[in-house]
Amino acid sequence: MTRLFPILVTGGAGFIGSHACKALSLAGYLPVTVDNLSTGHADAVKWGPFVNADVRDQSALGETIREHGIKAVMHFAASAYVGESVDRPVFYYDNNAGGMISLINACVGTGIEQIVLSSSCATYGTPADCPIRENTPQAPINPYGRSKLMCEEMLRDCSAAHGLRFAALRYFNAAGADPEGELCERHDPETHLLPLALQAASGQRGPLQVFGTDYPTRDGSCERDYIHVSDLARGHVLAAGYLAAGGPSTALNLGSGTGHTVFEVLAAIQRVTGAPVPHKQARRRPGDPPSLTADATLASETLGFRTERSGLEQIISDAAPSFGLADARKARDGRHAAE
Ligand code: UDP
């Protein structure tokens, strides 16, 4: 029997981490999740062993690495609410930068040399130009973005000092859900546009607030680059394979390359589900750049990465069932086929 390649996934019970575990398992890896369940869900860990531990617990990491014969690491465990990071900066530096220190120490202590890091377009801050390339200056504007930049910088220094190799994946807006319905997006509190808008459309909450309608964009609302979580997960698997094949340390944008404004997202939800999204205009949310879109050329050249499900309507169609909504277009097509 061939032995699966065991890979440590910190934060494997979270939204992106759990989708990555599924993608890893399909690609022949054994994902070993370490998660403290502070925001993740135990029932999302389905494709490998689960260790309930905090990523800052270096000895738990070391034990897990030794027990499972871990060969490489994917690091998702982190706090990821921009607004919360402004209110609780020390917590963010402790959990995100502190978690990175603990993980690097555990890797150096056990001889692990390959790390895929969950980084973020928040490390770019408010860029002068879009689409954003990897050589765009990194100038984060909130503690969350700064904590992710610190992680990248620590890895850069440790790759020089200890021979670690890393792939820092700077994602744009992760959205959607597992197309087979095995996983979905469940944040508490929820702050992200797509789930909030789907909840408003299905009547699970009141009108969505559109944060800012006076931005210098097509329709005044903020523009973001939404990437399907399953595409993101596949990008991580490709990055793990790239490092395993000896690829040098790198930082790559993972995005669709296409921007959509808040109003465009609301219109797409109505097109896909048939349900209008009740909404009202609200003041700008502090810390929101007007427009963030990725130039994803380097990930394509380096990893052969291409998005497959990141069209906005596809993202909405895959996410809708977990909010009690259906893709009304499929029902219509089904009716036509039956006629
Ligand atoms: N947004 C909004 N209303 C909400 C939540 C988000 O208008 O209730 C906007 C937000 O201002 C941003 C976009 O939707 O322009 C995406 O926000 P999200 O929090 O999903 O992701 P972020 O880009 O902050 O990582």
Mean pLDDT for each 10-residue chunk of the chain (339 residues)?
A: 83 98 97 97 97 98 97 97 91 98 98 98 93 97 96 97 96 96 89 96 97 97 98 98 97 98 98 98 90 97 98 97 90 65
| Residues with a known catalytic role | 144
Domain contains 119: yes
Atom of ligand 1 nearest to the CA of 282: 7
Same-domain check for residues 160 and 273: no
Domain contains 302: no
Residue count of the chain, please give it. Answer: 339
Give SS3 for 134.
coil
The pLDDT of residue 6 is: 97
Residue 117 contacts residue 167 (beta carbons within 8 Å): yes
The pLDDT of residue 339 is: 59
We report the CATH number of the domain holding residue 269 as 3.90.25.10
Domain contains 298: no
The pLDDT of residue 237 is: 98
In the reported structure, the alpha carbon of residue 304 is separated from the centroid of ligand 1 by a whole-number distance in angstroms of 29
The amino acid present at 141, given as its one-letter code, is: I
Same-domain check for residues 219 and 314: yes
Residue 327 contacts residue 272 (beta carbons within 8 Å): yes
Same-domain check for residues 215 and 239: no
Phi-psi region of 203 (alpha: psi -120 to 50; beta: other; left: phi over 0): left
Please calculate the CA angle 228-271-174 and round it to the nearest 5 degrees.
15
Same-domain check for residues 158 and 283: no
Domain contains 87: yes
| CA atoms within 13 A of residue 329's CA, in its CB half-sphere | 11
Domain contains 44: yes
Domain contains 21: yes
Q: What is the largest CA-CA distance in the chain?
A: 68
In the reported structure, the alpha carbon of residue 120 is separated from the centroid of ligand 1 by a whole-number distance in angstroms of 15
Same-domain check for residues 236 and 319: no
| CA distance to 83, 152, 170, 186, 199, per residue, from 88 (Å) | 9, 21, 23, 22, 27
The pLDDT of residue 82 is: 87
Residue 194 contacts residue 320 (beta carbons within 8 Å): no
Q: Phi and psi of 55, rounded to 5°?
A: -65, -20
The dihedral through the CA atoms of 234, 179, 186, 201 has a sign that is positive
Atom of ligand 1 nearest to the CA of 208: 8
Q: Which domain holds residue 333?
A: 193-224+258-292+308-338
C-alpha span between 142 and 123 (Å, rounded)? 9
Same-domain check for residues 266 and 145: no
Same-domain check for residues 37 and 105: yes
> Model's pTM, two decimal places?
0.96
Atom of ligand 1 nearest to the CA of 191: 19
We report the CATH number of the domain holding residue 44 as 3.40.50.720
Same-domain check for residues 199 and 102: no
DSSP state of 55: T
Domain contains 181: no
The pLDDT of residue 301 is: 98
Same-domain check for residues 153 and 269: no
The pLDDT of residue 329 is: 87
The total number of structural domains that make up the chain: 2
In the reported structure, the alpha carbon of residue 223 is separated from the centroid of ligand 1 by a whole-number distance in angstroms of 9
Same-domain check for residues 208 and 82: no
Same-domain check for residues 287 and 319: yes
Residue 270, Cβ density class (10 Å: 0-12 exposed, 13-18 middle, ≥19 buried): middle
The pLDDT of residue 184 is: 85
Residue 244 contacts residue 31 (beta carbons within 8 Å): no
